[in-house]
């Protein structure tokens, strides 16, 4: 499905209202996830569970204060993969047991990359493919989607510490949605000459020299 024509002020207002509705649902799902995480920590404290709760809290906060889009996709497909991909994060489940130090280290590394990516991106973050300004500094000097890479790393660490068939399916679904979101975002952003120049300057999307 192709992305609709550039948004006019009227359509931006309409889609901003839709984003506000999504924000409300996001807050509700986060509260549910936070309560479940707090219950798990009360039952048996695990650093991996605490880090997961901290990470999702940061994700939610940045999404709720994100910068309004200059141009946003009006494609139902883009909205579906964006929202479903973001809300997948709330489907992970904690388990009983002991943390693996190397898996927890993976979580910490992913979260460190996320902090660096968010500081580089500032408030230009969102669910749906949109143009909130092209970022070329910080982590974005190395890859075009450093935040998505950080998600893959940190959630992999959690998965290894809390390995179940359910969490594996959630992780694979999340990664699949991330790739689809990358393609959707770049379809929209590549309309901008500034982003086209950025694509030539930074060739890789996730891992320098590989992907």
pLDDT at 111: 92
pLDDT at 69: 66
DSSP, res 88 = G
Residue 176 has pLDDT above 80, yes or no: yes
Residue 206 has pLDDT above 70, yes or no: yes
Show the DSSP H helices in the chain as ranges.
9-43, 47-64, 76-87, 101-121, 146-161, 165-189, 193-201
Task: Convert the pLDDT of each residue in 65-87 to its tens digit.
Answer: 766 666 777 788 988 898 888 88
Return the higher-pLDDT residue of 14 and 35. 35
Task: Convert the pLDDT of each residue in 105-153 to its tens digit.
Answer: 999 999 999 888 888 776 667 667 777 778 888 889 999 999 899 999 9
This prediction's pTM: 0.83
Q: For all residues of the chain together, what is the average pLDDT?
A: 84
Inter-residue contact 55 to 113 (CB < 8 Å): no
What percentage of the chain has pLDDT greater than the value 90? 39
Inter-residue contact 155 to 129 (CB < 8 Å): no
| Domain edges within the chain | 9-201
Inter-residue contact 109 to 156 (CB < 8 Å): no
Question: Per CATH, which fold does 9-201 belong to?
Answer: 1.20.120
What percentage of the chain has pLDDT greater than the value 70? 86
Which tokens sit at 87? Answer: 């809300």
How many angstroms separate the most distant Cα atoms in the chain? 53
């Amino acid at each position: 499905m192709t992305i609709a024509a550039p948004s006019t002020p009227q359509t931006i207002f309409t889609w901003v209202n839709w984003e506000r509705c999504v924000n409300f649902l996001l807050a509700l799902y986060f509260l549910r996830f936070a309560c479940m995480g707090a219950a798990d920590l009360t039952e048996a404290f695990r650093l991996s569970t605490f880090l997961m709760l901290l990470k999702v809290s940061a994700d939610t906060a940045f999404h709720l204060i994100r910068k309004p889009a200059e141009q946003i996709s009006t494609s139902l497909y883009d909205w579906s993969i964006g929202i479903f991909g973001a809300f997948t994060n709330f489907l992970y489940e904690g388990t009983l047991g002991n943390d693996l130090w190397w898996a927890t280290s993976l979580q910490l590394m992913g979260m460190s990359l996320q902090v660096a990516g968010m500081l580089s991106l500032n408030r230009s973050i969102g669910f749906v493919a949109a143009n909130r300004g092209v970022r070329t500094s910080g982590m974005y000097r190395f890859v075009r989607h450093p935040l998505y890479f950080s998600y893959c790393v940190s959630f992999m660490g959690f998965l290894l510490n809390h390995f179940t068939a359910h969490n594996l399916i959630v992780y694979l679904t999340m990664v699949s949605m991330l790739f689809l979101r990358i393609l959707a975002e770049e379809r929209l952003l590549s309309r901008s000459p500034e982003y086209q120049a950025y694509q030539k300057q930074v060739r890789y999307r996730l891992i320098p020299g590989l992907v």
